[in-house]
Structure 1
Amino acid sequence: MKKYAIIVAGGIGTRMKSDVPKQFLRIDGDPIIVHSIRKFLAFDKAVEIILVLPEVHLKQWDAIAFQYFPDQNITITSGGPTRSASVMSGLAIIEGDGIVAVHDAVRPFVSVETIKSSFQLAEKSGSGVAVVSLKDSIREIEGDNSIARDRANYVMVQTPQTFRVSQLKDAYEKAGAGLFTDDASVFEAAGYKVNLVEGSYDNVKITTPEDLKIKPTQGLSGFSN
């Protein structure tokens, strides 16, 4: 089945305390967004990349694309006011069915193996969402009280979150561009089953200045260094 990757890049750098949008900050000399796109192309050179950006960032992207991807066909579309709206904008580009991964542009350390696993499970069962187990103890807040919970019953959700195109489109048509925090929640709300694949603790979302200091074991290219 044809493969797609919607790369969502809507950050403006508020928590990063930077005038540069976080997806354009540099790690090892290259913009974060470049590393993220490279990972999907390392998985499959034929994957169709759909990049969702705010209109105000399009000129910055044009310069990056000219330098790093001069021969790569990357489709650009404008983002919406919410993450869900941005993903819907990306989905609107896709004609026909296939398998689509939705990935945060600011997760540059995702492994090719995680991407591969998510596509394989989505093709087989309709969805493949990357998660990792919790390391810390957790407590649930209820009013002025807190209650200990068994961390074995919970996972942390990452991206990529990969789905059959037809099913994810149907889920968004039913749910709309609400305040869902991820695509798996939209998929589940529409009655579809969310299937999980093993992610990686290296697959962090670059959000604050401290995140730029991370030295992942997986590196920035290929399966590992």
Structure 2
Amino acid sequence: MNQHFVIIVAAGTGTRLGGDLPKQYQLLADKPILMQTILKFSTSQIHPKIIVVLAKGMEALWDELCQKHQFELEHYSCVGGSSRFQSVKNALIYIQEQFKITKDTKIAVHDAARPLITSQLIDQLYSTCDSSRPAVIPAVASSNSIRIGDQHNSRAIDRNQVWQVQTPQTFLGELLMEAYQQEEDLLFTDDASVVEKMSNIIHLIPGENHNLKITYEEDLIIAHYLFNKFS
């Protein structure tokens, strides 16, 4: 029985995009962004169990949207926390309570607002993750010149050593669950940083340039343009 999972984090408010609804509920093509993201995992060969993390109070809206769009793909949902770290932790607790976890279980964590991910990359991440590479993330090399510092004091660094990290980030389940027993740290910007703090090596594979995270209004415009090309 398939005991692989993906946690799709959809508990954010998405205020930077504007509009009355958080970004994950705004339309891309003919469906909310979150539904388009779920579809990518549902059509992957690995076909993981899908856990959607919703903000408290948004469960009724999500149910209403599923009915409106006749969205019947199997998925499970739980309520998020006050931060991304807490939301992922809540989802891991839900998985532990509802399913059997084995040493071969793999758990990916993905941003709800990355609907342009391809099923091919999803499958590659799960197939690459194993006991020798228990933490695998997609990343793209920087194409821009890079400086580090602030507005008043900065220096150039080698852009060939700079990677822009994406999701889904995929881990052996037991490792990810152990990592989330740590206390939350302000330096935890993604799941890889949580796992890395336990002295684990993070394995990079090439991501996809079009796997953008919809954050601002212009990102949604670009996503509409790219959606049909990469769907």
* TM-score between both structures, scaled by the size of structure 1: 0.91
Aligned 8 A contact 2:116 2:227 in 1: no
Aligned 8 A contact 1:34 1:68 in 2: no
SS at match of 1:109: coil
**1:169 aligns to 2:181 (yes or no):** no
Q: How far 1:181 sits from its partner (Å)?
A: 1.1
Of the three residues 188, 198, 201, the one matched with 1:190 is 198
Aligned 8 A contact 1:133 1:155 in 2: yes
Q: How far 1:24 sits from its partner (Å)?
A: 0.3
SS at match of 2:35: helix
1:136-172 CA-partner distances (Å, limit 9, x unpaired):
0010115721100000001000000000110001111
Report the counterpart of residue 2 of structure 1 in structure 2. 3
Q: How far 1:116 sits from its partner (Å)?
A: 1.1
Report the counterpart of residue 22 of structure 1 in structure 2. 23
Aligned 8 A contact 1:202 1:218 in 2: no
Report the number of matched residues.
219
CA separation in 2, counterparts of 1:14 and 1:159? 21
Report the counterpart of residue 204 of structure 1 in structure 2. 212
Of the three residues 112, 130, 145, the one matched with 1:105 is 112
**1:156 aligns to 2:164 (yes or no):** yes
Structure 2 residues not aligned, in runs of 5+: none
CA separation in 2, counterparts of 1:12 and 1:111? 25
SS at match of 1:207: coil
Aligned 8 A contact 2:134 2:171 in 1: yes
CA separation in 1, counterparts of 2:160 and 2:33? 32
**What does residue range 70-109 of structure 1 map to in structure 2 within 5 Å?**
70=72, 72-95=73-96, 96-97=101-102, 98-109=105-116
Q: How far 1:208 sits from its partner (Å)?
A: 0.6
Aligned 8 A contact 1:121 1:127 in 2: no
Structure 1 residues not aligned, in runs of 5+: none
Query: Quick one: structure 1 residues 218 and 151, their matched pair in 2 at CA, closer, same or farther if it must change by over 3 Å?
Result: farther
Report the counterpart of residue 126 of structure 1 in structure 2. 134
SS at match of 2:43: helix
Aligned 8 A contact 1:6 1:51 in 2: yes
Runs of 4+ in 1 over 4 A off after TM superposition: none
* TM-score between both structures, scaled by the size of structure 2: 0.89
